[in-house]
Amino acid sequence: MACFHADFANGRTGSRAGELVVPVARMKQPRQNPAMRIEDWNGEIGGPRWWARVLSFTAVMGVLLGVLGPYGSYLNGGVVPRTLYWVGMTQLGTVMIGVQVPLLFRLAVRIGLPRLFSLVAAILLASVPIAAVSAVICRAVWGGIVARLTWIDWYSQAALTSAIIIGLWILLEFAIEARRKSEIAPSAPPASRMAEPSGPVLCLQMEDHYVRIHRRSGSTLELLPLHEAIGRFGGADGLQVHRSWWVSAQAVTGAERDARNWRLRLTNGLTVPVARNRVTEARTRGWIVEDA
């Protein structure tokens, strides 16, 4: 009998109907899929919605494992305590792998290792602490029933379960993404018929894996992190006033206060939140004139 799994994949991507989506060049590299932006890990990965989806999926897998009783765990008491055990282990394993795999993957890619090799190596390394926790808990709960298992048994079962559930999670994410694209495709006009807005960039807004680029004549979406968008489209006169917003000085027309929070009014009618740690700099630039 062994313990749990864990899983890691990525969040969704996509655009709203009628919007022009311009992928960045590096997203067209061979074997790189926008639905697996592991190397950046600054979009939906690690965010509340991503964790909610992952933990919900692994809870369901935990129930399934509790009912099936793999690796001989069907011998360990009734279905209820066994299911509680597997659900608990899948949740713990999800947290461990969800934190470790992206970091290990990014490190491996940074030193030039192939992406598939890096992902497999990251899963194998992350399975070490999972196997250790699995062995400790199982021996404490079931004692002699699992005493014959060696550390090789614990590790191989943890790594196999992790790989299977991660694979199922990735397939599920791809299936959801494919369905979303098929739903929005009929209502979205062809990109070739849409005129891209021109003029100076007023502000940049992060939306999941995308960044919305606001200009006077409209907005477009590009598939890249906010910090890269700031480097490409932002000017020296601008300021990132919030984790999801960058604003150009020429776009600011004033500021308004809502309780303890400040918002900037822009020339295109948008109001942009100002993080509390950016209020002082915005006030220094004259964007926030006085406290209300």
* pLDDT tens profile 46-78: 667 778 888 888 889 888 888 887 776 666 667
* CATH code of residue 274: 2.40.50.1020
Residue 26 lies in a domain: yes
Provide the residue type at 84 as one letter: L
Q: Over 80: is that where the pLDDT of 243 sits?
A: yes
Same domain, 50 and 93: yes
Question: Which stretches of the chain are DSSP H helices?
Answer: 48-68, 79-110, 115-142, 151-184, 226-233, 279-284
Residue 4 lies in a domain: no
The pLDDT value recorded for residue 177 is 74
How many domains, in total, are found in the chain?
Answer: 2
Whether the Cβ atoms of residue 229 and residue 210 lie closer than 8 Å to each other:
no
Same domain, 245 and 201: yes
Same domain, 177 and 212: no
Residue 205 lies in a domain: yes
The pLDDT value recorded for residue 211 is 92
- The residue segments making up the domain with residue 26 are 21-184
List, as own/partner pairs, every contact residues 236-244 make where C-beta atoms lie below 8 angstroms and the sequence separation is at least 24, other chains included: 239/278, 239/281, 239/282, 239/285, 240/278, 241/272, 241/273, 241/274, 241/275, 241/278, 241/282, 242/272, 242/273, 242/274, 242/275, 242/278, 243/206, 243/275, 244/205, 244/206
The pLDDT value recorded for residue 45 is 60
Same domain, 51 and 88: yes
Whether the Cβ atoms of residue 122 and residue 101 lie closer than 8 Å to each other:
yes
Q: Over 90: is that where the pLDDT of 203 sits?
A: yes
Q: Over 80: is that where the pLDDT of 221 sits?
A: yes
Same domain, 177 and 221: no
Q: Which of the listed residues 160, 184, 208 is the one where a domain comes to its end?
A: 184
* Mean pLDDT of the 208-217 span: 89
SS3 174: helix
Same domain, 89 and 135: yes
Same domain, 39 and 125: yes
Same domain, 178 and 211: no
Q: Which of the listed residues 154, 184, 214 is the one where a domain comes to its end?
A: 184
Residue 251 lies in a domain: yes
Which structure tokens are listed for 162?
Answer: 């992790």
Residue 291 lies in a domain: no
Residue 5 lies in a domain: no
The pLDDT value recorded for residue 252 is 93
The pLDDT value recorded for residue 96 is 83
* Mean pLDDT of the 244-258 span: 91
Same domain, 153 and 33: yes
CA atoms of 219 and 202, how far apart (whole Å): 10
Among 46-50, 167-171, 222-226, 237-241, which stretch is predicted with the lowest mean pLDDT?
46-50
Q: What is the mean pLDDT of the chain?
A: 75
Name the burial class of residue 247, with classes exposed (0-12), middle (13-18) and buried (19+) by CB atoms within 10 angstroms of its CB: buried
Among 3-12, 71-80, 217-226, which stretch is predicted with the lowest mean pLDDT?
3-12
- Mean pLDDT is highest, among 27-41, 107-121, 184-198, for 107-121
Residue 7 lies in a domain: no
**What is the value of pTM for the model shown?**
0.46
Whether the Cβ atoms of residue 223 and residue 27 lie closer than 8 Å to each other:
yes
Tens-digit pLDDT profile for residues 128-185 = 888 888 888 777 777 777 777 888 887 888 888 888 888 888 888 788 777 776 765 5
